[in-house]
Chains A and B, each alone.
Chain A
């Protein structure tokens, strides 16, 4: 089985895929990433991560609709797999448990 650990950037991308639902393709995701974090990222970097997440089995993808501003080309829409959901949940639980152990900010 492939490695299932989730990096920080991977986690954010995975979440964005979930948020964007039908619109989850490389360009939109990178756009959303920039909007939400204020950090710039290249489409290539996002695409590369999406590709890796797919290889790990966290994402599925299929070709979607085309549009004129894409020059009539189709886009690849990503969806989170069950495994992806589970890894995300685990990651969240892990964080929450860490937050709870943090004395200064517990329950805060």
Chain B
């Protein structure tokens, strides 16, 4: 006999019975059964089951399907829609407020979700994306601090390990290294030349299998040969077109690099897409760094592993760390372990907390998902409140319908379909808004988002969202309305029960809580960003232009300085080994000083400068003096900053010796602390020396105020004269400084926008509610007027009820917001204080907006002619 699990799939049978006409059930089930058993007897059971499903689905034919909606139901649906449409039209102002409020909310939701989706898509286009992991290192300092960094440990054993990972750890299928720091992804552009053509482009160095691991499609040349050896280069389509007529033509041709080496183009790849966190125009073999001395060794190498499918990254990183600890010298000081981070996370999770990847833009993405949901909830509450409020008008209709025998479920159906109709209109409007404002939004956020209008999932999720919204927003009013008792309504007007009034008020309060929360966050956020932007850095960042040191700029520096100083518009010239706003290099090791304790570790930012550095940057010297060109020993002198002084733990620093690398000299001065990098980090100890032969870094030029144009012309002329093999390129320090806060800037802008929208939506709700309330209270106010109340009295009488609600919301939100914001601000090393007046300001704004919203209705009420409103009684 047939075993139990050998029966046809139950689910398919249920599906069939659900749609199949009842009179066909017996024969069809019989036929399908027979087919199933004959198949099961001949072949595999699985196939038989699959075939059963196949057969069931093929019964989806007009002749066999139950007519889902009988004719009467069809008529009812049309009826519902007609009635819905009429009722939408009959109360225009309500409908406009309701639909536009929801549309605004939805549009904001869509905008935020498009942004979030775009952020989440970052680096997702690599076909092996799921198996790609970046190696990061965690250094346990002697103090016990865990310090994480995305760089591959380059100690001898570390490098050895990472190079042999493929053979040591079976899960690792492919290893790729690429250099960052001086190249990817910040890109110090390099000069390429072909004949007369001279361009600066940024790129990176990578292992030969770079193009096999990552999906940057090759459009000319071959993937394998691309960067197989150190004389070859792969360039982007854009770069190919800069030098050649077509990508194909570029293959086999040579390009000169930095006036030094020739590279043969072996492959042209498609321009790197927007959603790639690695940005580059060329790739050369990473061995170049060592073998051809392309540049002094970069201290930042990123390693990406391609793991076997299904390999557990935690296990792999444990194996790696275990292996590493075998090989590293026990006495090496800091303990290093390594971990793996999914490659596609590196864009959103870019920071480190306690040695592990954490923080970064992910926080903003989460924040905005929250905001999107907030706004949608606020919009839904609006809809709900307004619709419930409107039931006064609908009360009579409901009563009459009930009296003539309409069932409760039919009423619910009718109202839900009306709400669905409104929601769909709101959706259409929202899509229209998004569609027309997308270009502006893109400009605002610096993205290139497109509406996925051709994608099915977009429309499907939109539809699901529409149904969910209309249900969330329409369920309560529908059930509320259908539950009204006709006898009572027909006797008098609709009176809300205390409970439903309370519910309504509760919703308004909740809605305003959310909006106030958003507003407070925005104000604090904007304040903090402004604080960062405008606070005193400790130096004057205006009127500074800098040019990278390359070619002849170092060997002919004295000539350069003399020539520039004689040109119009230029106030001062100096140089520095690191850009003043982004001193990234940090080291503890080769730096010693008089009085250093045994085992004392201070991590310094070392920077080599010219003699005029303090002057050109407008730095303050708090102790001792600045470097002096006329004192011969100053070429070996050092300056430190106040923090360094504190951390070094020495007193009377002037005259004490310091040694760093091959240099030993005395401290001549202490600089007042200034910000050497972004505000998110604390100012670090700084050690400054003078270097006469500075072959890397920046030449800094201070222009005379208001003479930027002349200065640039002068610089161009002098640089072309001294450094003809390199195109003139420059950066403004203040603009570059602002770039450090690009993501904060965007987020702050978005916050402003969406907090504004949330407030507008809430106010639309308040407006609707006040309209409703005004309607209900016309008679009351009429009587008050007759009894001698003046307009002012009526105004205040009417407005107070709403002000109370908003005030309650405010009181609930403030402590919450205070806690939340305080927590957020802790993430900044330098931050504003949360003072009471920020909250007072928000309170005043909200109060003002509420009054403004309500006043329209209250004025209308105050001006009514009681004779007319009271007549009907």
Contacts and interface: CB of A to CB of B under 8 A. Distances in A.
B33 A48 contact: no
A103 interface: no
Interface string A35-63: 00000001111011001100000000001
B31 A71 contact: no
B308 interface: no
B contact face: mostly helix, strand, loop, or mixed: helix
A25 to B, nearest CB: 7
B55 A69 contact: no
A42 to B, nearest CB: 3
Contact of B30 (A45, A48, A73): A73
A52 B35 CA distance: 22
Interface stretch (B21-29, B216-224, B240-248, B572-580): B21-29
B457 interface: no
Give the interface centre of B30, B37, B58 by most chain A CB atoms within 10 Å: B30
Contacts of B92: none
Given A43-B32, A48-B63, A70-B33, A63 B27 contact: yes
B35 A73 contact: no
A27 B35 contact: yes
Given A27-B34, A43-B35, A48-B64, A73 B58 contact: no
Interface in B51-103: 54-55, 58-61, 63-64
B58 A75 contact: no
A22 B29 CA distance: 20
Contacts of A67: 34
Nearest to B60: A44
A75 to B, nearest CB: 6
A101 interface: no
Contacts of A75: 27, 30-31
Nearest to B63: A51
Contacts of B27: 25-26, 63, 73-76
A27 B31 contact: yes
A66 interface: yes
A11 to B, nearest CB: 19
A60 to B, nearest CB: 15
A42 B54 contact: yes
A43 to B, nearest CB: 5
Nearest to A51: B63
Contact of A66 (B30, B54, B55, B59): B30
A73 B16 CA distance: 16
B30 A70 contact: yes
A69 B31 contact: no
Chain B interface size band reads 20 to 34
Interface in B277-324: none
Query: Which 5 pairs from chain A and chain B are nearest by CB?
Result: A73-B30, A42-B58, A44-B58, A70-B30, A27-B31
Given A51-B63, A52-B63, A69-B37, A25 B31 contact: yes
A69 B28 contact: no
Given A25-B27, A63-B27, A69 B59 contact: no
B26 A74 contact: yes
A53 to B, nearest CB: 11
Contact of B33 (A47, A51, A69): A69
A74 B34 CA distance: 11
Given A27-B35, A69-B37, A44 B61 contact: yes
B57 to A, nearest CB: 8
A73 B29 contact: yes
Give the interface centre of A30, A43, A66 by most chain B CB atoms within 10 Å: A43
Interface string B568-606: 000000000000000000000000000000000000000
Contact of B34 (A47, A69, A76): A69
Nearest to B32: A43
Contact of B28 (A31, A47, A52): A47
B55 A70 contact: no
8 contacts: A27-B34, A42-B58, A43-B35, A48-B63, A51-B63, A52-B63, A66-B30, A75-B30
Contacts of A44: 55, 58-61, 64
A25 B54 CA distance: 19
Nearest to B41: A69
Contacts of A66: 30
B30 A42 contact: no
A70 B832 CA distance: 79
Contacts of A71: 29-30, 33
Nearest to B25: A73
B64 A73 contact: no
Nearest to A42: B58
A63 to B, nearest CB: 7
Nearest to A52: B63
Contact of A47 (B26, B31, B54): B31
B423 to A, nearest CB: 37
Interface in B156-190: none
B39 to A, nearest CB: 10
A47 B64 CA distance: 9
A9 to B, nearest CB: 14
Given A27-B30, A73-B27, A73-B30, 13 more contacts: A26-B28, A27-B31, A27-B32, A42-B54, A42-B58, A43-B31, A44-B60, A47-B28, A47-B31, A47-B63, A52-B63, A63-B27, A71-B29
Contacts of B29: 70-71, 73
B547 to A, nearest CB: 74
A74 B27 CA distance: 6
A47 B59 contact: yes
Contacts of B32: 27, 43
Contacts of A51: 63-64
B19 to A, nearest CB: 12
A42 B38 CA distance: 15
B193 to A, nearest CB: 67
Contacts of A47: 28, 31, 59, 61, 63-64
Contacts of B60: 44
A31 B58 CA distance: 15
Contacts of B34: 27, 67, 69-70
A73 B55 contact: no
A48 B61 contact: yes
Contacts of B55: 42-44
Contacts of A63: 26-27
Contacts of B63: 47-48, 51-52
